[in-house]
Amino acid sequence: VTETPHSPGPAHEPAGAEKRRSQRIALRVPVVVIGTDVNGKAFGELTGTVIVNAHGALVELKAVLADNQRVLLRNRLTGQRESCRVVWFRRDESGMNRAGLEFLIPAPHFWGVEFPPETWKLEQMSAVVQREAGGPLEFAKVTRPRPLPEELLVRVEACGVCHSDLHVARGDWPEVAGAMSYPAILGHEVVGRVVEAGAAVKGYRGGERVGVGWLYSTCGRCELCREGAENICLKRQVTGIAAPGGFAEFIRVRAATAVPVPDSLPAEQAAPLFCAGLTVFHALRNAGLLSQAKIEGSAAGQRVAVIGLGGLGLLAVQLARLAGAEVCAVDVSDLKLALARSLGAAQTVDARSPDALQQIRGSSRPHLAVVTAPAKSAYDLAFRALRRRGTLAVVGLPKEDLTFFADDLAVSECRIIGSAVGTRAEMREVLELAAAGKLRCETQVCRPEEINNVIARMERGEIAGRAVLRFGPATP
């Protein structure tokens, strides 16, 4: 380790800032860079040099990196590893490649030397962090992100806790686990205010209220994007997986993906709409209710069974009611059944009762069954309850395969439909309904420090409605 007081600047400043550089302590540390190049090809292990100072790190190496990609650094002196993000990359005339790196968790120990604390001045924020796959979530201080040119930096007001967050945190979904990089910040029901807009962003001055959900970005070019099905874009990236999510004081979001949120909606009301609300809205629209031309009354005369009355189910009850359907709400919790009744369900059924199937069938069988419970038994019940030519909407995701007899399916002419979150255009419709007072989330507001307790209660089914983490000061 040698001290080089005039070495190039910090990770966040690709050019300029000459004057202040000489005041900084900088160290050259030999590192191994592990990752993939700009084309996604593994470059194996490359040795390079990191120049680190109080404001960030800069790596010199032979590989070509891309903005925003993640690489792993191994300190050749100490053997320590840290994951970082490429904030900028450029190649100078001498052919040397330089990249500015941002460490999610500032870790002076990584460099094998102690920095005087006053020189370690990366701006910090509080966040719920998972340091390794399947590990515990912890409330910690991490580096506050800076927006890339096409991004917004948003100060998070509230972020809902979705069951998907539980699955991702536990490593239940192998295909997602491969796309994660750690330390990770989950959370994809985010509402906040813009505090900074990247250099290439037009139309934001700061202070605007925006939200972002499961879709962190879509390509806009693939077959599905062109068909208006951006929610299943072949190249979509997911918030909290491809990029840090909203369980933090600040989040970087793509300006193109951010959806404006009306000021009249409290943050904890708006946040769960970005996954829970959008998901049920899209599922009901896929099932033929809530047509774009006419939402209210679009399902008059139909019976809709909603099975599973968590955050999603209670929203589905309201949307089906809004469409004019008669709603049969099914769950195993008296509290949730009572909530469904208060939201307009004409009938509630305790799924544990021996004649639950007969009760759901009632005097005329449902046209549509929306299953939000992640249980195979709920799907079996729903399928058997449906009328002929009925529709089964798959929303809750059990670990087991769903099975239906081909004969039953053929004779009943039932349709089984999938749905995956929803589009930005649908998100605007959902927010409009909520702002007009036609859609309300049952929420339990929690502090981010309580995250592990919140998750434990969610796993035991003890939270009625949606748990929402509130960042910053409490609502007056």
Residues that bind Zn ion (CB under 5 A): 162, 164, 218-219, 222, 225, 233, 275
**H-helix or E-strand containing 359?**
helix 356-361
Strands 368-371 and 391-394, bridge-based pairing? parallel
Strands 303-307 and 368-371, bridge-based pairing? parallel
Angle at the Cα of 161 (from 158 to 164), degrees rounded to 5?
Answer: 140
Q: Are 11 and 56 in contact (CB under 8 A)?
A: yes
Provide, rounded to whole angstroms, the least separation between the CB of residue 241 and Zn ion: 11
Provide, rounded to whole angstroms, the least separation between the CB of residue 426 and Zn ion: 15
Q: Which residues pair with 102 in a beta bridge?
A: 85
Q: Which is nearer to Zn ion, 143 or 423 (CB)?
A: 423
CA torsion through residues 235, 238, 239, 243, sign:
negative
* Sheet strands (E) in 413-470: 415-418, 443-446, 466-470
Neighbour-count burial for 163-185, b at 16+ CB within 10 Å, e otherwise: bbbeebbeeebeeeeeebbebbb
Q: Which is nearer to Zn ion, 53 or 231 (CB)?
A: 231
Q: Hey, is 160 helix, strand or coil?
A: strand
- Tell me which DSSP letter residue 243 carries: B
Nearest to 38 by CA among 89, 73, 77, 72: 89
Instruction: Compute how many other C-beta atoms are within 10 angstroms of the C-beta atom of residue 146.
Output: 19
Residue type, 309: L
Provide, rounded to whole angstroms, the least separation between the CB of residue 213 and Zn ion: 7
* Neighbouring C-alpha atoms within 13 Å toward the C-beta of 190: 35
Could you tell me how many helices (H) and strands (E) the chain has, helices first? 13, 24
Provide, rounded to whole angstroms, the least separation between the CB of residue 421 and Zn ion: 7
Q: Which is nearer to Zn ion, 83 or 372 (CB)?
A: 372
Provide, rounded to whole angstroms, the least separation between the CB of residue 468 and Zn ion: 12
Q: Which is nearer to Zn ion, 153 or 233 (CB)?
A: 233
Provide, rounded to whole angstroms, the least separation between the CB of residue 406 and Zn ion: 32
Q: How far is CA 109 from CA 7, 80, 112, 209, 376, in A?
A: 21, 8, 5, 38, 48
Q: Which is nearer to Zn ion, 71 or 275 (CB)?
A: 275
Q: Which is nearer to Zn ion, 99 or 159 (CB)?
A: 159
Phi/psi at 158 (5° precision): -150, 150
Provide, rounded to whole angstroms, the least separation between the CB of residue 86 and Zn ion: 23
450's CB contacts (< 8 A; 6+ apart) are: none
Q: Which is nearer to Zn ion, 234 or 300 (CB)?
A: 234
Provide, rounded to whole angstroms, the least separation between the CB of residue 433 and Zn ion: 19
Provide, rounded to whole angstroms, the least separation between the CB of residue 230 and Zn ion: 6
Q: Are 468 and 192 in contact (CB under 8 A)?
A: no
Strands 70-75 and 26-36, bridge-based pairing? antiparallel
Q: Which is nearer to Zn ion, 118 or 223 (CB)?
A: 223
Instruction: Compute how many other C-beta atoms are within 10 angstroms of the C-beta atom of residue 190.
Output: 32
Q: Which is nearer to Zn ion, 162 or 427 (CB)?
A: 162
Q: Are 149 and 196 in contact (CB under 8 A)?
A: no
Q: Which is nearer to Zn ion, 91 or 235 (CB)?
A: 235
Provide, rounded to whole angstroms, the least separation between the CB of residue 225 and Zn ion: 3
Provide, rounded to whole angstroms, the least separation between the CB of residue 123 and Zn ion: 29
Q: Are 60 and 51 in contact (CB under 8 A)?
A: yes
Provide, rounded to whole angstroms, the least separation between the CB of residue 312 and Zn ion: 9
Q: Which is nearer to Zn ion, 190 or 328 (CB)?
A: 190
Q: Which is nearer to Zn ion, 222 or 357 (CB)?
A: 222
CA 117 to chain centre: 34
Distance between CA atoms of residues 301 and 387, nearest Å: 14
